[in-house]
């Protein structure tokens, strides 16, 4: 499912980026993938995907940026 329509970023792309080590936190998701840098409506969903993916692999730290 698309998360960021402005940049054409899907849940799978965010997940793959996290699992590959390309991104690790919210700042990385924004800077590397461009998520939430246009209209910002995708920010909540993108953060949820970030958290869920980290929880799946046991890497989630609630206070991570």
Distance CA 28, CA 23 (A): 5
> What class is the 2-57 domain?
mainly alpha
Give me the helix-helix angle, 43-57 and 11-19, nearest 10°: 40
Q: What is the pLDDT of residue 28?
A: 96
List, for residues 15-60, the tens digit of each pLDDT value: 999 999 999 999 999 999 999 999 999 999 999 999 999 998 886 5
- What letter does residue 31 receive in the DSSP assignment? I
6 contacts 40 by C-beta, under 8 angstroms: no
Q: What is the pLDDT of residue 61?
A: 57
């Amino acid at each position: 499912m698309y998360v960021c329509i402005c940049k054409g970023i899907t849940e799978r792309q965010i997940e793959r980026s996290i699992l590959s080590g390309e991104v690790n936190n919210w700042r990385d998701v924004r800077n590397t993938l461009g998520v939430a840098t246009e209209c910002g409506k995708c920010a909540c969903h993108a953060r949820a995907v970030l958290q869920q993916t980290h929880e799946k692999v046991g890497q989630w730290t609630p206070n991570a940026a």
